[in-house]
Amino acid sequence: MTSLGRVVRFSPVDLPSVPSTSVQLAAGTPLRDYLGITTKGEKVLGFVRFDSDTPIALGTAQGTVKRIVPSSLPVRPDLEVIGMKPGDTVVGAAEASDDTELVFVTTDAQLLRFPASTVRPQGAPAGGMAGVKLGSGASVLFFGAVDPTTDAVVATVSGGESILPGTDPGRAKVSSFAEYPAKGRATGGVRAHAFLKGEDRLTVAWVGASPPQAVDPTGAVRKLPETGARRDASGQPIDGVIGSIGRTLV
């Protein structure tokens, strides 16, 4: 599934075999080349099993949300699964059964969580429905699905639009997901990070099962603060630029 709201069907048996002892990313095949993705800016967001009956939730930069059931999709090599407004893109896609919660985090540090069951699955051509209400000039930075019974956390990194990228790593914090009250779909959510002087936006956000792991733009590991910060607190200084955050596999 890609950021342009389409799925590209392929079989993993066609991928080249890589030794199990290999730890080098270069040992694999560039996925964009393998799938024939040539549009500038289009990114692969994740993988979908077409025989699955578990809905997949999509969230867009302009705050739209949609759920689709993979097994109901037409059998085509390339298929658009959400109709989007001009300039919009999909920022996240995740399996989302009715007992999970959907989560949006915006660039102006608002977090909204609501039950996935409030978003009824739609067919491929549909454009979804309102997911989060955005503030002026804000967009969605993160979208995902969370099991509320797990030890989930919210990791955020703040920065400033006037700061030259790569010159200031910003400030980061990690809070318990339970600290954030649930709100109704299509509302603005709650404050997820307090900005200090010179900060006016989030640069990275992630919500998922603990423990989180941060890396810089080259893939080198970066240390995050310990979990336990208040949901509306400011962040702590970090030792380097964080490019992305994900779950640590232990």
Q: pTM for the complete prediction?
A: 0.92
Tens of pLDDT, residue by residue over 168-206, are: 789 999 999 999 999 999 999 999 999 999 899 999 999
Give kind and range of the element (H or E) at residue 32.
Answer: helix 31-35
Tens of pLDDT, residue by residue over 25-75, are: 556 677 888 888 889 999 999 898 999 999 999 999 999 999 999 999 988
Q: What is the CATH number of domain 6-247?
A: 2.120.10.90
Q: How do the domains of the chain map onto residue ranges?
A: 6-247
CA distances from 229 to 172, 174, 192, 234 (A): 10, 6, 10, 9
Task: Round to whole Å and give the CA distance between 3 and 8.
Answer: 12
For the residues 120-134, what does the mean pLDDT come to? 96
